[in-house]
Each structure stands twice: as C-alpha cells, then as structure tokens.
Amino acid sequence: MAPRKARGATVRGATVRGLSHIDTRGRAKMVDVGDKPVTDREAVARGDITMSPAALKLIQSGGIVKGDPLQAARLAGIMAAKQTSNLIPLCHPLPLTHVSVELAPIKRGYRIEARVRTSARTGVEMEALSAVSVAALTVYDMVKAVDKEMVIGNICLVEKRGGRSGDYRRSERSERSVRSNRS
C-alpha cells in the first residue's frame, strides 16, 4: 500500500498539515493504525523533580512518614504506562512488554527516566512520558507535607526506536537547553 499523503485540516481558519489526530474538518479523531505492520518499538522519556534540601535529606534518610517515595514512584510510573490509553484521549491501548522507571539523585532532587517497549502497530512515546509524569507526581504527593514548592519539569522524549517514522534521539542542542533550564 502506498504511503498516505498528509491531508491539511482547517482549524480556526488556518490549515494545519501533518496532524494525524485532526480530520479535514478540524475535529479530533483516533488514527487508524490497522494497516501498519507490527514492529518492535521502544521509547525513553526523562524528567526532573527538584525540591528543598530538607525534603531531599528526608527522602535519603528514609524519614518520609508515608513511606519510600522512590519505590512508590517507580511502581506508579509503571502503572501509569500501562494505563496511558485510559488517561490520554486518542491513545491506542498497547500490549507493553517492558516498563522500567528509574530515579537517580541530582543536585536538587531526582532525575526520572522511563523506558517502555512493545511489539505493536504504534509507538510507546506517550507511555514513557506518562510514566515519568506520574512518577514525579507521586514523589510530590508523598513529600508535599515537607515541601510544597517542589518543581516538576523538563519532561521530554529522549529517544524512540521502531515504526514508520524511524528512530529518534534528542539532539545535544536540546539536551544543553534543558540542562541550562535546570540551573
């Protein structure tokens, strides 16, 4: 089957090309992936949560009353990846074959990275981004009694593999931009 040309949709008087979730009348639609082949796909997303030194010290010493926020966040991130199609409109439910969520200490908090894999007709970028987001929100929820000024940010797709659009890796320039925003 020949690849389909991107059709332009008119949204508020402007023509938008390449938006697969918008029909020709500007209405939201779920993309039909039925003609796409099943391929191995993987996505990695990353984000940060920053906090006060007092909050960070409590986490590191095991002093958070609700329990270990890092373990809870890891589990919440895995669960979020599995539920992405229930959280994000127009996402396809996918048979995930692997989800990992890691939290690594950084100067003022934690870097969260999620890796998600599947063999399916569409990618797992949204699942990886959901995992990072919900893991960060879980840390916030468990530590907010100590620090309500925590900041969740820099959530981005780092890389993806597989599918018709091919592989993607975040550019060094983009990484430098994110790092400068952390300062």
CA 94 to chain centre: 15
Closest CA to 59 of 114, 101, 100, 110: 110
pLDDT tens-place string over residues 96-124: 999 999 999 999 999 999 999 999 999 99
- Quick check: 13 pLDDT over 50? no
Stretch (H or E) spanning 7: none
Give the whole-angstrom CA distance, residue 20 versus residue 30: 8
Q: What is the pTM of this model?
A: 0.82
- Quick check: 61 pLDDT over 80? yes
Which of 17-31, 55-69, 93-107, 165-179 has the lowest average pLDDT? 17-31
Sequence-ordered list of residues with C-beta below 8 angstroms from that of 144, at least 6 positions apart, any chain: 150
Residue 28 — φ and ψ, nearest 5°?
-65, 145
Average pLDDT score, the chain: 87
- Quick check: 7 pLDDT over 50? no
CB 144 within 8 Å of CB 51: no
- The owner of tokens 């934690």 is 110
- Quick check: 94 pLDDT over 90? yes
- Quick check: 8 pLDDT over 50? no
Class of domain 37-182: alpha beta
Burial of 120 (0-12, 13-18, 19+ CB in 10 A): buried
pLDDT tens-place string over residues 158-176: 999 998 888 999 997 766 6
Residue 113: C-alpha distances to residues 38, 142, 147, 171 (Å): 25, 19, 22, 17
Greater model confidence, 21 or 86? 86
Closest CA to 63 of 76, 54, 51: 54
- Quick check: 84 pLDDT over 70? yes
Residue 10 neighbours by CB distance under 10 Å: 12
- The owner of tokens 């003609």 is 35
| Predicted pLDDT of residue 75 | 98
CA 178 to chain centre: 15
**Residue ranges covered by each domain of the chain:** 37-182
Catalytically active residues, by annotation: 141
